[in-house]
Amino acid sequence: MVFMLLLVMLTTCAAVPQDLTGKMFTFPQETNTAHVRLTTETKELKALTVCLRSFTDLQRGHSLFSLATPSAANDFLIWKDATSNTARLYVRDYVAGFRGVDYKLNTWHSICSTWDSGSGVIQLWLDGNPLSRKFITSGSNIPGPIIIVFGQDQDSHGGGFVTSESFLGMMSDVHMWDYIVSPTEIRNYMDHVNFSPGNVLNWSALEFQITGRVLIEDKF
């Protein structure tokens, strides 16, 4: 009875949105378990924008944002390569590479990406600067159920984590929209000035569950 009650309470707590303004997730260890799983009611995406800030000293490849569905483990993935100045974006398991990515270690970076299934064009932004736009895939929406994970790369829907693809460091200010956010708004996000919070993921009202050693700390 007490156990049941505890279970119900835990489930309820996990579903309560938290305001993480001024906070960050710290991933202090390389593991194949520690992660944050996000809850979203969004059923299907025909366009999207994701923005986040990250801080790491990882020189190997790592996942910054992993969105999987039953039909594609990399339905939307922001991936930093091992080589210092390249990154990759995935949509529906298709991939586009980006060069000239000035991703210094031990410093906060603001990263945004937009994609639209109509044009199939994807874009990456880093620290206020847009990178060259690329075609990745068009005509097919991202279908639900959607699972979004920070700290690990999903190689299957909600799992398939490996230590060598995990994230180590800090992450903050994550927002996701189900439409293309304008360049002006993206610059505002990157400059830390007023912007409309994400309607899919909102850092001021985030629903998530932590597994393993992930801390919520004050951002610095």
Residues at the interface with ligand NAG (CB under 6 A): 19, 197, 199, 202, 204-205
The three-state (H, E, C) secondary structure of 23-70, written as one string: EEEEECCCCCCCEEEECCCCCEECEEEEEEEEECCCCCCEEEEEEEEC
What are residue 148's DSSP bridge partners?
Answer: 38, 67
Q: How far is the CB of 177 from ligand NAG (least distance, A)?
A: 8
User: What is the nearest approach in angstroms of ligand NAG to the Cβ of residue 16?
Assistant: 11
Query: Quick check: 125 and 131 in contact, CB under 8 A?
Result: yes
Q: Which is nearer to ligand NAG, 41 or 218 (CB)?
A: 41
Query: Do 70 and 61 touch, CB atoms closer than 8 A?
Result: no
CA-to-CA dists, residue 4 to 7, 9, 10, 14, 210, angstroms: 5, 9, 10, 16, 21
Q: Quote the least distance from Cβ 19 to ligand NAG, whole Å.
A: 6
Closest contact distance (angstroms) between CB of 22 and ligand NAG is 13
Taking the least distance from each CB to ligand NAG, the nearer of 136 and 181 is 181
| Short-list 25, 132, 35, 115, CA closest to 77 | 115
| Closer residue to ligand NAG (CB): 80 or 175 | 175
Q: How far is the CB of 179 from ligand NAG (least distance, A)?
A: 11
What contacts 83, CB < 8 A, 6 or more positions away? Answer: none
Measure the CA–CA gap between 179 and 145, rounded to whole angstroms: 18
Of 19 and 93, the one with the shorter C-beta distance to ligand NAG is 19
Considering beta carbons, is residue 27 or 203 the nearer one to ligand NAG?
Answer: 203
17 versus 128: smaller Cβ distance to ligand NAG = 17
- Residues 201/206/209/212 CA torsion (nearest 10 deg): 100
Q: Which residue from 193, 158, 157, 156 is spatially nearest to 173, judged by alpha carbons?
A: 193
> Which one, 205 or 210, has the nearer CB to ligand NAG?
205
Q: Quote the least distance from Cβ 199 to ligand NAG, whole Å.
A: 4
Q: How far is the CB of 85 from ligand NAG (least distance, A)?
A: 34
Picking from 171, 186, 65, the residue whose alpha carbon sits closest to that of residue 123 is 186
